[in-house]
Chain A
Amino acid sequence: AQSVTQLDSQVPVFEEAPVELRCNYSSSVSVYLFWYVQYPNQGLQLLLKYLSGSTLVKGINGFEAEFNKSQTSFHLRKPSVHISDTAEYFCAVTTGAGNNRKLIWGLGTSLAVNP
């Protein structure tokens, strides 16, 4: 079955340190990939997306992600995090084709930025 795995459920990090949130997926067909962020008591906000083209995608708030087709990964990175980046981060992947296309979500990674 197609799946999305966010390898870390929780990531603690100090302010101004770099961070990488990992996402792997299983799919044998072309995919679209997304990262969403959810701040406490709020809905999900799109951080960035990969549809085609350059495998390095830049998003809002200084985040970027790299699509690696051979490793079926789409890891999210930020070179220097702020306290305000504390939130839940979700990776999502569309898999399948045509009418069988589905949107699969990871279980989320909780990023805690400490002073």
Chain B
Amino acid sequence: KAGVTQTPRYLIKTRGQQVTLSCSPISGHRSVSWYQQTPGQGLQFLFEYFSETQRNKGNFPGRFSGRQFSNSRSEMNVSTLELGDSALYLCASSLAPFPEGIHGYTFGSGTRLTVV
């Protein structure tokens, strides 16, 4: 079966712009979680969606937002980009929401965002 698909793979944006990243989960998975990965901070949890509802949110400013569609695909948006937003953004899908779903997390390859 197809894995978790994240698009685009690479993105370069200018400070102040906004960006939208996409994540298509494994077929049948209804939970999508988003993470920001940087060398200094490691993996930081952004938010989790299950059945189109945000179930949990990490400690990120309101510039970071997300949504999930009825087909379980998810998007995250970052507005007013800052240099510090440069990171690898990963999404993970699972059948069930956290914590039950953690047993079966499948990660995508990520979107590498560079803000210049």
**Interface set of A (CB-CB < 8 Å, partner B):** 32, 34, 36, 41-46, 49, 51, 90, 94, 101, 103, 105-108
Contact = CB atoms under 8 A, between A and B. Distances in A.
B116 interface: no
Nearest to A43: B107
Nearest to B98: A103
A105 B42 contact: yes
B43 A90 contact: yes
Nearest to A46: B105
B109 interface: yes
B107 A44 contact: yes
B42 A107 contact: yes
B81 interface: no
B4 interface: yes
B25 interface: no
A105 B46 CA distance: 13
Nearest to B112: A41
18 contacts: A32-B103, A36-B107, A41-B109, A42-B109, A43-B90, A43-B92, A43-B107, A44-B107, A46-B105, A51-B103, A94-B99, A101-B98, A101-B99, A103-B45, A103-B98, A103-B99, A107-B42, A108-B42
Contacts of B102: 32, 34, 94, 103
Contacts of B103: 32, 49, 51
Contacts of A44: 90, 92, 105, 107
Contacts of A108: 42
Contacts of B105: 44, 46
